[in-house]
Chain A
Amino acid sequence: MHDAQTDAGASPRSEPIRVLIAKPGLDGHDRGAKVLARGLRDEGFEVIYTGLRQTPEMIADAAEQEDVDVVGLSILSGAHMTLLPRIVELVRERGMDDVLVAAGGIIPDADAGPLREAGIAAIFGPGTSIGEIARYFREHARRRV
């Protein structure tokens, strides 16, 4: 019901895409996650940032309550092979079948295949531009309306 004026400059769909940015696990470095959060805001996304040291349950609960279109996970600790598939599982368990789950951070190429199989839709390594991530989310996030 928003008119064209309010959405000027935002994505072509009528509602902003909602993205949860979360940091699972124990690494205490969230500069990258914050830069991404701000970059996505500037790209017209509604970004919910949950902060550091989230358990998979906390992330899935937040995604559920916030009814997001995308869950973006930033992970640098090396625990991605255990944490990321668990998060996908919990998100799907809560009935969010069409929510896009993507990851970024330090993830070796060798792990990318198994993670994709586990339901991580995309993996963005260091050096990926925010524009690239925004474009991917716009193209692949579920259509709400």
Chain B
Amino acid sequence: MMRPARNRVRAAVRSGGRAFALSFASIVGSTVLFVLSLLSLVFILLGVGLVTTPWLMGLVRRHADRRRALASAWSDVSIPVPYRPFPKDVRSGFTGQVERTTLLLKDPATWRDLRWLLIDMTAGYVVLVLAFGLLLFPLEGLVLAAGLWRVFADDPYWYGFVPVDSQMTALAAALLGIVIFHVGVWASGPLLRLHFVLARSALAPTPDELKRRIDRLTETRHEAVDTAASELRRIERDLHDGAQARLVAMGMNLSTIEALIEKDPAQAKKMLAMARTSSAEALTELRDLVRGIHPPVLAERGLGDAVRALALRLPVTSEVTVELPGRAEAPVESAAYFAVSETLANAVKHADADRLWVDMHHAEGMLRISVTDNGKGGAVVGSGSGLSGIERRLGTFDGVLAVSSPAGGPTMVTMEIPCALS
């Protein structure tokens, strides 16, 4: 009979204790971080913010992640972690800082974090204070009833709505305290939970973002369908004008040879040689076509070796580093391969590069590829450049492309595709 009640009180006290501890993180941690973040954002204009912002945002994210962990451990509230991953290979030094700051400011999660800090240090704090206050406040009532009321005999002390100035009123205060305690026992758990729900409402992505996501999916799907259709048209045209036409010519030659073989063996022999050349040419064309559809090494060995083989075909010196413990799905491999292939072709054609570096690795659910050249730089995404084509194609897989190409070089193209390896 007593056991469930005691357990309830124990659970409530535990919630209250947690709320008490958390309230410091909320009022001190969140307030300090919020103020510093605002200052840091303002100081970006002066340059100092470029150094402090990434560092501070890292702290804010740690702070928020800690709250996420507690939310799931204490109240079973799961708050999604929506941060966009940093590319591993952000450059060091000042340019790296600018890059990092830009990436952070572009991430909607950063702004949600700041909004959460504001909510956490106000409403979130109040909810926490209620969660442990409802359990602590009754103690005061009991202490008053135990004798502390004598201090206020002349000047009534307001305990809640009870003016305490005598033993009777002090007992009434104790009674009120007991009632409040009961409310506290019942409410402290839910209040703590309410605090985490508030955090979730601030930190989790909103329906607006979901809508944007749907728009983006629709757009990339259209592009994927368009690309696939135009690829098929290109293949059809190549077959029609190439191998198919050559086979027709070969068949014709063969029937001429059949007619000539007895009348003019010398001429027949010459035409046979022509037929053989023509079949070799048809094969070469088919081989090139196949390479354009799905390179054989990709099918045989996977992405790493396919890119190695590709690099060996380039007219410039290249270094390929691959750290892929497994294979990605075929469509992802293919998209990644053609993205690298086009990037390399761009580098050779436009950048006047004589050295290339390709790095591929997989970490945290992302396939990361960087292609660096020592060419003249000045590459841009957009305005119908080859790079925007690559970006569009990667988009189908939620992949992204970033280009850093100052005039004078070097150019670094970074690609990221979320995928799992098997």
A binds B: no
Which A positions have Cβ atoms within 8 angstroms of B? Answer: none
